Amino acid sequence: MPFLKALTIAGSDSSGGAGIQADLKTFAALGIYGTSAITAVTAQNALRIDALTCLPVSLVVSQIRSVLSDIGVEAIKTGMLGGPEIIQGVASSLSRHPGIPLVVDPVMAATSGSALLEEGSLEVLRRRLLPLARIVTPNLPEAEALVGSQLRDESDCIRAAREIHVMGPGWVVLKGGHCREIESGPAGAREVVDLVFDGSRMHRVSGPYLQGGPKQGTGCTLSAAIAAFLAKGRSELEAVREAREYLSRTWRSSGESGQAGGPLHHFHAFWPKSGDG
């Protein structure tokens, strides 16, 4: 039986916690053969980005073309794109493949706070890439940047999800991890709630609130998992729900390394943390 395949178009993270590395780990853990087009090379860890160089647009486009013209994929996701020229090139390339579901993670900053999107990129992202997306997955700061206003409460977030949908994506997943208020679920359990808008109905996908500071690569991992489940033929809502469950498991199993707490454990189902087995 042939492999199911997915393509990630994103930046390289030297620490392995986010970007291309997190995406490929996620694909592999979920049984998807991962391919990649690297947009930038970074020297980074969970604390900071020490150096960043975007690759030439022609090289990014050539990587995409090489993968899609031969191997083919069942789903595509984008992460860090760096600047407007790369966004234009990626959008032009992907517009030739409208039948492949695209997940856009509109990465604008690293978990450490370092900027990852050049000035002048937002309008190109809105105008060229979002209309191609099956699903877009902004966190709260990214949604605020896309709509140009602060989101103070859930009603603001619902409005923003609707406004982002007007920009062209089929589905909007406004992630709840950055929300200022964490909701209480059954028996007082704390939950993170993603707002998922399909163009007519607002769905709520909840997951457990997990203690600890922000972990590097959570957004990359969630969007890659959504792409993986779309590649498996799941519906959009099923893909979001299963991706949220996978992210929760990777967080619970995360290790302790470095000064910022440690990376997600993408392969928790296959091998334990050191000292667990």
Q: What is the 3-state secondary structure (H, E, C) of 142-210?
A: HHHHHHCCCCCCHHHHHHHHHHHHHCCCCEEEECCCCCCCCEECHHHCEEEEEEEECCCCEEEEEEECC
CATH of the domain at 42: 3.40.1190.20
User: Domain for residue 9, yes or no?
Assistant: yes
pLDDT, residue 241, reads 97
Is 104 a domain residue? Answer: yes
> 219 in a domain, yes or no?
yes
Joined tokens for residue 127:
């105008």
**Does residue 39 lie within any of the structural domains?**
yes
The Cα–Cα gap between 197 and 202 comes to: 5
Which residues is 190 bridged to in the sheet?
184
Q: Please report the pLDDT score of residue 123 as a whole number.
A: 94
Per-residue confidence in pLDDT tens, the chain, 277 aa: 579 999 999 999 998 989 999 999 999 999 999 999 999 999 988 778 899 999 999 999 999 999 999 999 999 999 999 999 999 999 999 999 999 999 999 998 766 666 677 778 999 999 999 999 999 999 999 999 999 999 999 999 999 999 999 999 999 999 986 554 444 444 445 788 999 999 999 999 988 776 665 678 899 999 999 999 999 999 999 999 999 999 999 988 876 655 555 688 899 899 876 545 4
- The pLDDT of residue 212: 61
Length of the chain as a residue count:
277
Q: Please check whether residue 179 lies inside any domain of the structure.
A: no
85 lies in some domain: yes
Sequence-separated (6 or more) residues with CB below 8 Å from residue 186: none
Determine the pLDDT at residue 192: 83
Number of domains in the chain: 1
HSE (side-chain half, CA atoms, 13 Å) at 13: 29
Give the separation between CA 194 and CA 209, rounded to whole angstroms.
Answer: 12
Backbone angles phi, psi at 130, to 5 degrees: -60, -35
Share of the chain above pLDDT 70, in %: 86
* pLDDT at residue number 200: 97
> Which pLDDT score is estimated for 136?
98
Question: What confidence score (pLDDT) does residue 141 get?
Answer: 92
End-to-end Cα separation, the chain, in angstroms: 33
Q: Output the six-digit token pair for 65.
A: 């073309």
Rounded to 10 degrees, what is the CA torsion of 56, 60, 66, 68?
Answer: -160
pLDDT in the model for residue 262: 67
Q: Which residue has the tokens 């390339």?
A: 93
264 assigned to some structural domain: no
Per the structure, the complete domain to which residue 53 belongs is given by 5-174+215-252
Q: For residue 275, is it within any domain?
A: no
What is the structure's pLDDT at 186?
A: 46
